[in-house]
Amino acid sequence: MRERLKTALTPQPARLTPLEREVIAIFVQFSRVVGYPKSFAEIYGLLFISPEPLSMGDLIERLSLSKGAASQGLKALRELHAVRRIKTPGDRRERYEPETELRQVLRSIIDEQFQLHLAEGFARLDRAEKLAGRSKDAGHALARIEKLRAWEKRSGELLGLAKLFLTRPG
């Protein structure tokens, strides 16, 4: 498995320490599970292990990212509340630091991603149900739509429990 992890990653720039590369690799693996772009994980991973907040220029240089990829990644990570901007007195550059509380990051992912997809799924199910009722095999199609509704309902319940767990102290 360790070998698979190493070969699954693209070569990292020499500007990163071995520790930084390993931490970034952890977040890249996680990003594959949740479906986020690799560049988002690289940005978060480097910010996570960095002892100081980093500027977008630092991220571009250290990770060999384009300005567009860095900007898009930082914007998305800020929207997920996974990264926050830091203003340093006397320095015009914005710097960024990670949210290090797992609960906050996961809660944001649930709110921003999964619940949005569930809402879209409910709307699609409504449209599919109307189409199924007019299909030549309406009985079968409607039964499958009901099965999907049950899956959607259970998914929503599971996300609700996850959010409840993530909002509890301790």
Mean pLDDT of 7-29: 79
When computed from its CA atoms, the radius of gyration of the chain, rounded to whole angstroms, is 21
**Residue 95: strand pairing partners:** 55, 86
CA distances from 19 to 22, 95, 159 (A): 5, 21, 34
Instruction: State the chain's mean pLDDT as an integer.
Output: 84
Distance from C-alpha of 7 to C-alpha of 4, rounded to nearest angstrom = 5
- Average pLDDT (40-50) is 97
Q: What residues contact 75, with CB distance under 8 A and at least 6 apart?
A: none
Q: Is the pLDDT of residue 10 over 60?
A: no
Q: Of 142, 85, 80, 83, whose CA–CA distance to 112 is shortest?
A: 80
Token pair in block for residue 135:
């299909």
What length is written for the chain? 170
What pLDDT is recorded for position 61?
Answer: 96
The predicted-structure confidence for 60-101, as pLDDT tens digits, reads as follows: 999 999 999 999 999 999 988 899 999 888 888 899 999 988
Strand locations in 36-146, DSSP E? Answer: 54-55, 83-87, 94-98
Ramachandran class of 149: left when φ > 0, alpha when ψ lies in -120 to 50, beta otherwise? alpha
Amino acid letter at 4? R
Decide: helix, strand or coil at residue 1: coil
